[in-house]
Amino acid sequence: NAGVTQTPKFRILKIGQSMTLQCTQDMNHNYMYWYRQDPGMGLKLIYYSVGAGITDKGEVPNGYNVSRSTTEDFPLRLELAAPSQTSVYFCASSYSSPRLRDEQFFGPGTRLTVL
């Protein structure tokens, strides 16, 4: 299994441009998450999904959109990039059940710079 994969690894955007960060998992996990991490800080939850067709806002959703059309994919869309969105973005997935340890598996991250 590849686990959680993210593309691209790096991207530089100009202010006002749009882009989609891709995230795919091959572990058949029902839950998926997007986090952002600013320098020297912990991760903050942007959006999450409990299954195909179902998404919900996290702590810092403004400026982002998500969709979940399949179990495997959970893309994050930035419509009008702003310098405040310069960050490292991590996608994660998990399979939650009472008998499992509810571990989140993280991708390698996408480093985004908005100039």
Partner 1 sequence: DAKTTQPPSMDCAEGRAANLPCNHSTISGNEYVYWYRQIHSQGPQYIIHGLKNNETNEMASLIITEDRKSSTLILPHATLRDTAVYYCIVRAAYTGTASKLTFGTGTRLQVTL
Please say whether the beta carbons of 114 and 85 come within 8 A. yes
What single DSSP character describes residue 62?
T
How many chain residues interact with partner 1 (CB under 8 A)?
Answer: 32
The residue assigned the tokens 């993280």 is 106
Q: Which of residues 48-87 bind partner 1 (CB under 8 A)?
A: 48-50, 56, 58-59
Structure-block tokens of residue 58: 């996290």
- Is 25 among the residues that bind partner 1 (CB under 8 A)? no
- Is 88 among the residues that bind partner 1 (CB under 8 A)? yes
Q: Rounded to whole angstroms, what are the CA distances from 5 to 20, 59, 63?
A: 14, 23, 23
- Is 45 among the residues that bind partner 1 (CB under 8 A)? yes
* Residues lying near partner 1 in the complex (CB under 8 A): 4, 31, 33, 35, 40-45, 48-50, 56, 58-59, 88, 90, 92, 94, 96-98, 101-109
